[in-house]
Amino acid sequence: MADRPLSPHLQIWKWGPHMLVSILHRATGDGMALVGLGILVWWLGALAGGEEGYGDFQALAGSPVGLVVLVGLSWAFFTHLSSGIRHFVLDIGAGYELTVNKTWSILSPLIGLALTVGFWALILTK
């Protein structure tokens, strides 16, 4: 076995908000792809299935469990969006200063949460 240098591993790096936001970005993207795609296919099938099928979809989507899933999907969307904008800014070469990076890493999920609350407040008050 050759004496090659080892890549830094999770035990070496200090955890910070930037690492959490990066992992959260991937998790929300995967969640939207899996759960969101399933709900989209079910919704389209319910539309094609007629009034009874769509009524079943509406009943489950409007139930407490359905609302939790829909709120979770919208949270995943807004969190993924805000961290995606953060990643885009990093990709163009800005925001690498430690304080700026840490600040936007903390604000990114908070912005996603605020947008989710505002979105559902708007939906539920109409």
According to the annotation, is 80 in a ligand binding site?
yes
Cα dihedral 106→33→40→64 (10° resolution): -50
Instruction: Judge contact between 74 and 35, C-beta under 8 A.
Output: no
DSSP SS3 for 92: coil
Instruction: Judge contact between 19 and 106, C-beta under 8 A.
Output: no
What is the b/e burial string over 39-72, where b = at least 16 CB atoms within 10 angstroms of the residue's CB?
Answer: beebeeebeeeeeeeeeebeeebeeeeeeebbee
Binding residues for heme: 80
Annotated binding-site positions: 80
